[in-house]
Amino acid sequence: MADDNKKDEQELSEDEKLAAEWESAMEESGDADEDSREDEWAAAMAEAGETADEGGGGKDTGKDNVRTAPMEEFPEGSNFSQGGGPAPDLDVILDIPVTISMEVGNTQIPIRNLLQLNQGSVIELDRLAGEPLDVLVNGTLIAHGEVVMVNEKFGIRLTDVISPGERIKRLQK
């Protein structure tokens, strides 16, 4: 038992020695980096001081040089949006592609059940058969519809569509 304590003390002292060596090495390398950084900053500040003396700007703490920008006057009949700027030009965004998805339904199941799914498994959804699908654009609901077949491909016939203005508001969020 006494031998174990001596070994622990020796290992501890060896660990302490190693830690001290690393600490001193890190301090030495850190000091060199710090000194070089200080030199770089001093050179940069000196250079900035030279350009300030030459009239090229620099640090000026005086408030005498502060000027206010003139405010532009707008006619009272100007068309502005709620943000205070001009109304957006929708022609700019009309060719941007968006993702449309149709949601038949959804449900929540525990991961245990998810891992047990295999070919032929049936998942019960929260919608009844014949209920309209949700049409989502970039995850935002814009319409409801029903499934149709068009030339042997699935399609959707829109049954309820929100107004264009409301669509834009929802897509801006």
Q: Looking at per-residue confidence, does 128 or 9 come out higher? A: 128
Residue 7 has pLDDT above 60, yes or no: no
> What are the angstrom distances between the C-alpha of 42 and each of 31, 45, 49?
16, 5, 10
List the Cα angle 118/124/126 in 5-degree steps. 145
Give the pairing type, strands 133-137 and 140-150: antiparallel
Domain 90-172 class, CATH top level: mainly beta
| Distant-in-sequence, close-in-space partners of 156: CB < 8 Å, separation ≥ 6 | 102, 133, 135, 145, 146, 147, 148
Burial status of residue 102 (CB atoms within 10 A of its CB: 0-12, 13-18, 19 or more): middle
The predicted structure's pLDDT at residue 128: 84
* Between 87 and 106, the higher pLDDT residue: 106
pLDDT tens, residue by residue, 148-171: 888 988 888 999 998 888 877 776
pLDDT at 118 (0 to 100) = 93
Neighbour count for residue 142 (Cβ, 10 Å): 21
d(CA 18, CA 27): 14
Least confident of 8-22, 24-38, 96-110: 24-38
Residue 81 pLDDT exceeds 60: no
Please, are residues 155 and 149 in contact by the beta-carbon 8 Å criterion? yes
Where are the domains positioned within the chain? 1-56, 90-172
